């Protein structure tokens, strides 16, 4: 099973768990929008088309932060585009900390996703409160996992390769009846 990484603003640097998972795993790809620093939703939709669209649904999206909003929108536009989606630390557009430069992402469609998903949230994420994460999970009709106090679940959170996340993804994929290329 292929994995498509969908990072947030700026992409995921080399110390981010998405990059650490991808290192040495040839069955993973990453979106490549031209608007990493000044995110544009339509540009990210094109990047998802390029990275995941050719897989004919044979991929799991692994999204972080703003990538969660992009992944949800892409799946609503492409209901057969993936087998499932792992949504980690999505930002809440209603929060004051939501990045102003991500204005095209500000009004996500909050409707059930067409594929199975799992949303993982942190208790102290500055971009999304746990109640906000519950609202997103409920709107997208996906279960919510409270990962504890991991801030934004990124390299600055000190999670490294984030073994808890790897275990969650492995279990999620097993529930879909597939194995994934994580070492």
Task: Mention every residue, 6+ apart, whose C-beta is less than 8 A from residue 136.
Answer: 68, 87, 90, 92, 110, 119, 128
What mean pLDDT do residues 63-81 have?
A: 98
The structural domains of the chain, ordered by start, are 2-175 (3.40.50.1820)
pLDDT band per the 50, 70, 90 thresholds, residue 24: confident
What mean pLDDT do residues 170-178 have?
A: 95
Residue 144 tokens, joined: 């919510």
Choice between 86 and 54, residue whose per-residue pLDDT is larger: 86
Residue pair 64/88 in contact by the 8 Å Cβ criterion: yes
What mean pLDDT do residues 56-72 have?
A: 97
* Per-residue pLDDT, 183: 60
* Per-residue pLDDT, 26: 78
- For the stretch 96-146, pLDDT in tens is 999 999 999 999 999 999 999 999 999 999 999 999 999 999 999 999 999
Q: How far is CA 145 from the centre of its chain?
A: 14
What mean pLDDT do residues 52-56 have?
A: 91
Q: What are phi and psi of 55, to 5 degrees?
A: -85, -5
* Per-residue pLDDT, 153: 97
Q: Helices 66-77 and 41-52: crossing angle, nearest 10°?
A: 70
pTM for the structure as a whole: 0.97
């Amino acid at each position: 099973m292929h994995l498509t990484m969908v990072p947030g603003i700026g992409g995921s640097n080399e110390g981010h768990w998405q990059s650490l998972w991808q290192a040495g795993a040839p069955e993973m790809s990453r979106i490549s929008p031209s608007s990493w620093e000044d995110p544009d939703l339509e540009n990210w939709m094109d990047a998802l088309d390029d990275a995941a669209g050719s897989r004919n649904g044979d991929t799991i999206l692994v999204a972080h932060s703003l990538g969660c909003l992009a992944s949800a929108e892409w799946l609503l536009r492409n209901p057969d585009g993936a087998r499932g989606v792992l949504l980690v630390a999505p930002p809440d557009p209603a929060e004051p900390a939501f990045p102003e430069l991500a204005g095209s992402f500000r009004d996500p469609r909050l409707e059930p996703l067409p594929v199975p998903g799992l949303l993982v949230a942190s208790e102290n994420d500055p971009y999304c409160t746990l109640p906000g994460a519950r609202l997103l999970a409920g709107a997208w009709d996906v279960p919510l996992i409270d990962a504890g106090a991991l801030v934004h679940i990124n390299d600055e959170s000190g999670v490294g390769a984030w073994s808890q996340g790897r275990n969650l993804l492995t279990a999620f994929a097993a529930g879909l009846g597939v194995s994934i290329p994580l070492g």
